[in-house]
Chain A
Amino acid sequence: MSHTPTTRTMTPGKPGAMSRAATLDVAAALFAWGCAAIVTAAFAWLLIDVAWRGVGGLSWSFLVDEPSDAGRAGGVGPVVLSTLLILAVCMAVSVPLGLGAAALLAEFTRGDTRFARLVRRSLDVLAGVPSIVFGLFGNAFFCLALGMGYSILSGGLTLACMVLPILIRVTEQGMRDVPDAQRHAAAALGLSRTTTLLRVTLPAAMPALAVGLVLGVGRALAETAALIFTSGYVTRTPASLLDSGRSLSVHIYDLAMNVPGGETHASAAALLLIAVLLAINLLTNWITRRTHPGWH
C-alpha cells in the first residue's frame, strides 16, 4: 500500500464528527476489552475457587490410594487409572477413524456430492446430541447388545462416538485449509493421491488435528452422563479393559451429589481433573509447536 501514491488525504473534518468517531472507537475498544476480561475473570474465578477448596485435599496418597468410606476417605488412584484407560480407548479408536473420515470429506469428495453433504449433516447433528443420549445408546449397544457389560471398553467406545464428530469436522477444515497449490505441486511431481495425503496434506493439517484432539479430550474427560451407564461406578483398580471403572468426573459427581461429607474430596478430585486437562492441553500445544514452528 505504502508505495502507491494516494489521492485521499486525511482531512481534519468537523471537530464534532471526529470526536464522535473517536468516542465510538474508544467505546468499542473498551467493550472488547471488557468482554475479554469477563471471560478471563470467569475462568480465573473458577480455577481459584476449585484450587482453594481442593488444594488442601491433594497429596501423594490421595493420588495413589484406593477410595474408602464411599470416597470420603482414601484417594483416587484406581479412578485416575480408569480415567486414563477410558481416554486411551477413546483416542485409539477415534483418531484413526476421524482421520479417515476427514480425509474422505476433504480429499476424496471435493466439492459437494450428496454423500459428503449427508455425512457432514449427520456429523453436525451428532455433535449436538446430549451426552446422556450417548450414554443410553452406549449402554444398550456396547454393554448389552455386544455383551461388553459395564466396562472401560464400553465407556471408551461410547466416548469415541461422542468425540468423533468434533474431531472429524475440525480435521476436515484443517485439510481444506491446505492450499490447492500444494496438491497441484504434488500432482506435478507425479505423486499419487494417497502419497499426497500422507506426505503433504496430513502433515500440513496436523495443527488442526491437534486442536480437534484437545477439544475431544476435553469433552471426554469432562463427561459424566455418557460414562455412568457404560464404564460404570466401580472403584476397584481395573485388571483389564473389560472391568468396570469409575472415571474422575463420575467420582466427582457422586461425591458432590450422593455422598454426604464428600465435598472435600470432590473438590480435590476436581482440581486434579483440571490439572490433567491443562497438562494435556499444554503437551499438545508443545508438540504442535515443535513440529510446526509457525503455528500458535
Chain B
Amino acid sequence: MTRSTRRTHRTLRAAGAGAALLLALTACSSASDTGSSASPQVSGTVTVFAAASLEESFTKLGTQFERQYPGTKVTFSFGGSDSLAASITGGAPADVFAAASPKTMKIVTDAGGTSGTPTTFVRNQLEIATLPGNPDKISSLKDLTGSGLKAVLCDESVPCGAAAKKALDASKLELTPVSYEQDVKGALTKVELKEADAAVVYKTDVRAAGDKVTGVDFPESADAINDYPIALLKDAPNAEAAQAFIDLVKSADGQKVLTEAGFLTP
C-alpha cells in the first residue's frame, strides 16, 4: 500500500495526490463500514467494468446481486482490461473495476482512479485449447512448437499474451504462432472455428467454450498465473451498492460461482 501511495505521489502533482490520498483513505474506512453491516441503503444502478474473461461468472453474480438487493440493477461493460482502464481514466462513469491483470489495474490506481487498494479476488491459469478431442495429441507447451501445427497466442500487450510469454520464457521455448490475437476470445475463436489447431488461453475460457474445444493442462502454466484485482472507483456514482457488489464477489457464494467457471481462489 505504501509503495503504491508513493508512486501516486510521484506521478501526480502534490496537491492532486494529497486530495486523492485523503479521498482514498476516507473511502477505505467508509467502505469497510458498509461491508460489515448489510445496509438497507443499497439501491440503484451499479456499473461494473470487468475483464472479458469474467463475463459468464459476473453476469451470474449480477443476477444474484439483484435478487439479494431488490431495487438494484447491475450493468456490465465487459472488454479488454486495457481498454476498460483507458475508459475509466478517461472519465467513464463506472463504480467497480475488475481487471485481468495487476498491470491494467495499475493504470487506474496510478491515475488516482481507485478508492482504496485493489484486492486480488481470483486467479486464472493458462491452458491449451485444442480442437475437440485433441486430435493432434498435444500434451505440453513444447508440442505447440512443432512445425505444421497452427498455434495462436494472444499479443504480448494483453494479459493472456504476457502470461503465455512468461510460461514460454520460463521453459525456454521458442514458439512462432500463426497469429498474435488482440484478446483471449479472439484466440479462442480461431480454435472454435477450427482455423487454428491450438491456442494458449485461460482455463476459464476453455470451460466457457464447452465442447467446442478440449482443454489441455500444461505444467509450464504454473509459472504464469494471473491475479485478478478488483477495486471500488473513486468517482463511483453509487459507492454503497458498488461496495456491496465487491463484497458479494469476495464472499463464499461469489467465490463458488467463480471457481465453478474455472478460476482459482487467491
A interacts with B: no
Q: Which residues of B contact A (CB under 8 A)?
A: none
